[in-house]
Amino acid sequence: MNIYQIRSEINAFYQKFQIIINTVAKFIVSFIAFSLVNKAIGYDSRFAQFPVTALLSLLCAFTPSSVLVLMIMVLSLVHVYFASKFLAIIVAVIFVILYCLFFRFVPQYGTAVAALPICWYIGLPYAVPLILGIMASPISIFSIICGVISYKMFKIINIEAVAPTESLNDALALYIRVVEKLVKDKEMYALIVIFSLVIVICYVVRKLKIKYAFEISIAAGMIFSLVGCVIVNTKFSEQKAVGKIIFMNILCAAIAFIVQFFKRVLNYKAVENVQFEDDDYYYYVKAVPKIEPQIQNGRENAYYDDLEEEPLEEYNEETEEAEIKNISIVERANARKREREVYKREESVDFTVDTSGIDIDDEINK
């Protein structure tokens, strides 16, 4: 049994118990995320208790991932508000600025924004730009910017939250200290640039039509991240940790490689239950995707299962516009004859709905 067959077995297992696995995984991830937030900035002991964390995790287990991102933000704000009302206002304003300038363009990467500070807290921040580089488009740089700034902001708040803010002078002094530390943090700007370049390098290399493009992109991203982070650490950081940075970068590259290998599972088209009707029948259809590894010469076929793209042919606006306008008129005899031939080919095949990683456009391209 080779590794691709093992992956197919895992895929089949996931397909069978998809709903349960997704729910449990979301609960575990949410619980870990909330626990880390409570550990980092858990000033309000009421919200840091186990029943509250479990309840919030249960809520996030049954709702879309955007709710988890929102709950992490709300929980963070609640904790900071308990420590200092003025600091909470500063955090809220910075969140709004980040949303207006960056996050509103990449709402689909909200998980990355929440994941970066959490991964940073456990020492694995380099995994997020690597994974975004191999799975997303360069626009995800905006989510990295939001994530880095959020992490640095909460790090500053951790230190400044104990400062008194009874008078207006104290509040203003606290505000000036926080903003100064955030704006003058050269390490933050350097890391934003390095992580952004890692995403771009990984994206460019994986788009090349070469063998092992994904593996080379992870290696290239890791090397750039390693060199960049070591330089930043030696130049800007007070705590020198070159050995730890090197080890963590290699570990994050291994994580990215595992994620990329199982991308087919993550990008997996689930069992679909659809219903529709025509003049004669109501149809209740269960479409089960086939899972078969496409192995050739011991290596998986090139697979354009990118989250962001499909193999699209060149788009000609005039042709497409004309086609859409004339679609209901079908008067050309050649078009009818061509389609009749296609229908005849379809009739000769047993009735199965094959949705195994092939999109509806695959029928057009046959």
Partner 1 sequence: MLDSRKIRLMTRLSIYERGKGKKDIGLSKYYKTDYVRLNVIKTVISVTFAYFLILVMVVLYKSEYLIANAVTLDYRTIGMRVLGIYVALLVVYIIGTMIGYNAVYSSSRLKAARYYRMLGRLTQIYKEEDEGEDL
Angle of helix 50-61 relative to helix 65-83, nearest 10 degrees, comes to 150
Non-local CB neighbours of 165 within 8 Å, separated by 6+ positions: 84, 85, 86, 87, 171, 174
Q: Determine if 101 is a binding residue for partner 1 (CB under 8 A).
A: yes
Q: Residues 18 to 77: which contact partner 1 by CB under 8 A?
A: none
Q: Determine if 287 is a binding residue for partner 1 (CB under 8 A).
A: yes
Task: List the x/- string, 107-146, binding to partner 1 by CB under 8 A.
Answer: --------------------------------x-------
Q: Are 187 and 231 in contact (CB under 8 A)?
A: no
Alpha helix segments (H runs only) across 42-84: 50-61, 65-83
Cβ 146 to partner 1 shortest distance, Å: 13
Count other Cβ atoms within 10 Å, centred on residue 285.
10
Indicate the residue among 115 and 263 with the shorter CB distance to partner 1: 263
Q: Considering only residues 166, 331, 341, 347, which one is a binding residue for partner 1 as defined by CB under 8 A?
A: 347
**From start to end of 146-203, where are the E strands?**
none
d(CA 270, CA 287): 9
d(CA 135, CA 126): 15
Q: Determine if 230 is a binding residue for partner 1 (CB under 8 A).
A: no
Cβ 144 to partner 1 shortest distance, Å: 16
Task: List the x/- string, 252-281, binding to partner 1 by CB under 8 A.
Answer: --------------------x-xxx-x--x
Q: Determine if 186 is a binding residue for partner 1 (CB under 8 A).
A: no
| Neighbour-count burial of 25, counting CB atoms closer than 10 A to its CB (0-12 exposed, 13-18 middle, 19+ buried) | exposed
Interface residues with partner 1 (CB under 8 A) are 93, 96-97, 100-101, 104-105, 139, 172, 175-176, 179-180, 272, 274-276, 278, 281, 283, 285, 287, 310, 312-313, 315, 317, 320, 323-324, 327-328, 330, 336, 339, 342-343, 346-347, 351, 353, 355, 360-361, 363-364
